[in-house]
A = this chain, B = another copy of it.
Amino acid sequence: MDSTQLSVTCIAPVNIAVIKYWGKRNESLILPINDSLSVTLSTADLCSKTKIIADAKFTDNVMILNGKEENFENERIQRCVKEIKARAAELGSCPKELLEWKIHIESENNFPTAAGLASSASGYACLVYSLAQLYDLKKQEISDIARMGSGSACRSIYGGFVQWQKGIQLDGKDSIAFQVAPASHWPDLHVLILVVNDSKKKIGSTSGMARSVVTSELIKYRVEKCVPQRIHSMTQAIKDRDFSKFAEVTMKDSNQFHAICLDTFPPCVYMNDVSHEIVNYIHEFNRTEGETKVAYTFDAGPNACLYLLEKNVKRVLSFVNHIFPNDNQKSAEYVRGIPVEYESEDVNEFQNYPQYEKNTLKYIIHTKVGEGPSRVD
């Protein structure tokens, strides 16, 4: 270690909720009105990467995000940095003067923003995890601090299956994430993200959920009655590796989340006609296959995230490729992430399903459940 400079580089994963987070009880601390539960995705295919250099000679704090300088005074960044430093100071985990050095942060995502995937979860998880490495807070709970950057970031602090408990304390100290099961518990849980071509402006999730809390009447019932039961069923499904149950609760909760958005006034609409077609096709597919082989879930955008078992990837992908033909169908640029070996053509197998117009999907990402953040330098 150069005595006047310290550097860490870390990666952190994306997570996709199966029980959705929607609605805050405290806007500034980012405290949710309900528990949520997510699957952490493999950093091999999707991740944020953050390098932090602390240097005694730096005169300014700097934040560069995907090659562009960000305002370091951004409230959420400030809160994360301040909270991590306070924790380090309190515990004396690192030399005091290190906490006074300015830092240069460079962060990037290995997936395009255009993918419509929430990069804030992996981004803030990576920022907070990297800061914790820098200030030697390695064994400390930091999901509550990641949460202050972006709510769902707290779930990206852990790998595998992660629950964010809403907590009941006013200061949010108990609004933290914990691992329900590690990735190794169910390693054959795979994911296909169908990135839909869409140009529509949409309501940001922060303002969307604020509007839902104020105007939706149904959200009260969801929060009080539906989510607790679903968290329970989902946890059990994960423990039992019961894909059919996992899929059912995932699909129902995605639908209910979008129902709440529609019950908001004015309504927030995130799914589009293509999203709804995907939903129809998946129900149809599961029915004709005679078992639930695939589940959909949609966040605050039109892209579908499909959960499925590894053994069914090839078949489901053939189905998706039939429905949504693409000029680059089998190129690695169209189907990204974990490579899929295509067997012989079974072109006619899905011929009863009408096809959508070509290139309706931008591309597909094939990935799987994965580990939490890690240091890579």
Residues of A within 8 A of B (CB): 217-218, 220-222, 225-226, 248, 251-252, 255-256, 258-260, 262-267, 269, 272-273, 276, 279-280, 283
Contacts and interface: CB of A to CB of B under 8 A. Distances in A.
A221 B221 CA distance: 7
Contacts of A280: 266, 269
Lowest 5 CB-CB distances: which A-B pairs, in order?
A: A221-B221, A259-B263, A259-B259, A259-B262, A266-B283
Q: How many copies, total?
A: 2
Contacts of A269: 276, 279-280
Nearest to A283: B266
A203 to B, nearest CB: 10
A269 to B, nearest CB: 5
A204 B321 CA distance: 29
A226 B219 CA distance: 12
Contacts of A276: 267, 269
A265 to B, nearest CB: 6
Contacts of A272: 273
A233 to B, nearest CB: 12
A262 B262 contact: yes
A246 to B, nearest CB: 15
Contacts of A248: 265
A356 B258 CA distance: 25
Nearest to A248: B265
10 contacts: A217-B221, A218-B263, A220-B221, A255-B262, A255-B265, A255-B267, A256-B262, A258-B262, A269-B280, A273-B273
- Listed residue (A248, A267, A280) with the most chain B CB atoms within 10 angstroms of its CB: A267
A260 B218 CA distance: 9
A255 B263 contact: yes
